[in-house]
Chains A and B, each alone.
Chain A
Amino acid sequence: DAKTTQPPSMDCAEGRAANLPCNHSTISGNEYVYWYRQIHSQGPQYIIHGLKNNETNEMASLIITEDRKSSTLILPHATLRDTAVYYCIVSDGSNDYKLSFGAGTTVTVRA
């Protein structure tokens, strides 16, 4: 019952931007797009979330298409410590508190 689709894996060169795509074609109007990552066996780390406008914080940027059916998480300058599983999750954040962690995208940053 996953609401999002992500590629299973991707590689990125250290120092380059990493662009992680996510499809969420059935997203409803009040649902946000959240991104978390899980670095080997650690707890999921919140990265960023957005509704329809592009968002940027100290960790990443989130680009959401105008129709909101897909989005891209951008890590501007990937480091080896960004190697992790990245999860794209849609949730209305209030009533839909059961975050659904699918398989995510395993990102490997290579030196």
Chain B
Amino acid sequence: DGGITQSPKYLFRKEGQNVTLSCEQNLNHDAMYWYRQDPGQGLRLIYYSQIVNDFQKGDIAEGYSVSREKKESFPLTVTSAQKNPTAFYLCASKFLEGVGNQPQHFGDGTRLSIL
């Protein structure tokens, strides 16, 4: 079955440590997105990518980095510069316009906590 796989499901970070969250999709979607979900704030966009080797900052990109070396993969690195990284991170993907405006499909998320 096609879908979006995020790993790990739970992740713990020590102070000063970088961690990388994985997102893989086998839906042949063009665009991929990373959101951060905090209670009462909904989903906030961190980064997105519409094409391989290209990505754009979202609303809260500071302290995060991404790469898009392959169409199916969009890993997110939470760097030590992100002072409040404890959150639920969601990856999403979708087809771009051309075949109608498609909804985003979401992974199951990764919950990141600070030790």
Whether chain B is bound by chain A comes out as no
